[in-house]
Structure 1
Amino acid sequence: MTTIGNNLQQVLGRIAQACAAAGRDPASVRLLAVSKTFGDDAVRRAAEAGQRAFGENYIQEGVAKIAALRGGAIPWAPPLQWHCIGPVQSNKTRHVAEHFDWVHTVDREKIAQRLSEQRPAGLAPLDVCIQVNVDGGATKAGVPPAEARALAQAVARLPRLRLRGLMSIPDVAPDFAAQLAVHAAAKALFDQIRGEGGEGFAAFDTLSLGMTTDLEAAIHAGSTLVRVGTGLFGTRAAPA
């Protein structure tokens, strides 16, 4: 087994242990492998070890990997699933709409409208998470919690999009208790929005929280999808 394959088993073990500690079914938490800055070969090795969902922060880099791995000779079964987890500017919405399966970082109605208009009719609806700045971090993207419901309603009304849930990337917290507190706030908001429901909310089932360093706290709080890069692929090289 490759190093990435071993790492994958360790991460899945952490998820299972965290679910057991929280009294949850491990099947209720999905792993998103964050493959930004790692090449096609790294993604291929993870896919060969059984991983199917990959997250990309840099849209052009992600599109190139999607083309190389989706259009290649290897018939992945089930197919690889690609999530855009980086910021989406207006001039990049077409790339996201045409190539990705999910986008986690919608925080403006204008971006959602462009994604809806540019999603090809031949593809399934683009799955969308609203990014929420749950802890008010000054350098963090995302809609304020008080505005998340209205944005979710706007997305739910748009054709070619499917509202799936919320995503948050809080500032680094010093310990488990602090991590749990901020993730619990995101879970409370998720539950509130899901409970209010409405047309277009039938698939609202995803809370994208937690990364390599805090996935245990995120799972304890109720995350249904954890985004792991370093724990799977290793430390990223510093920019040249």
Structure 2
Amino acid sequence: MPMGGELHFAKNFRDQSQQQGTGAGFQFDFYCEDCNDTWRSPFEPYRSAQAAGWLQRLSGVASGFLGNVGSTLDDAADGYARAGWGTARDEALRDAIEKAKAHFHRCARCSSYVCDKCWNIEQGLCHRCAPSIEAEVAEARHGGLVEKAREDARAQGMENAAKVDVKAQKQLACPACGAATGGGKFCPECGTSLNQVRTCAGCQHEVPPGSKFCPECGKAA
């Protein structure tokens, strides 16, 4: 593309350029729009800004000797560097885009730029638009394995449920100390038996575990 011409670019890059100082220069990160793997363009120094940065350092050291002259030189050099920044950046970006083309492919279906790992070379499309047959088969095979394992586990659980006593009422809290019992026969905290059937001393009616009074006559249990 000719110097100063239009600049066409995608959105898959980040500008890492530095406009001012002795480290001024241009550098761009281009990334895959599928996996985000990144390629960074070679650093291209911006000499005008670097020279201005060095001049500012020198004038700072010699400010006592140069006075206002040093400040004027700083401003002039900085202004010159700023004035040329836009054009220089465009040229650097244009060059970086050309170099990045060797590392990325543009999908004809979704227009994404992807790296070699995310590119289906046989179909000329990205892996999102043309997934690898081998990868899809492997994923489907694993999905079937998981689904069948869940079915078998559920069937085994239903078989095991036949061994569970669902009719017996369990005392889940100890009537003596209030600790959780886990449905056991004795309290794990104080050892109180939890399966004792109590009867009311007054009316001989069965008193439910944990009850302080007989539900039939009201006498203290």
Identify whether the pair has TM-score above 0.5, normalized to the shorter chain: no
The structure where helix makes up a greater share of residues is: 1
Higher relative contact order (CA 8 A, sep 6+): 1
Q: State the TM bucket, normalised to the shorter chain.
A: under 0.3
Relative to the length of structure 2, the TM-score reads 0.19
- Bigger Rg, structure 1 or 2: 2
Relative to the length of structure 1, the TM-score reads 0.18
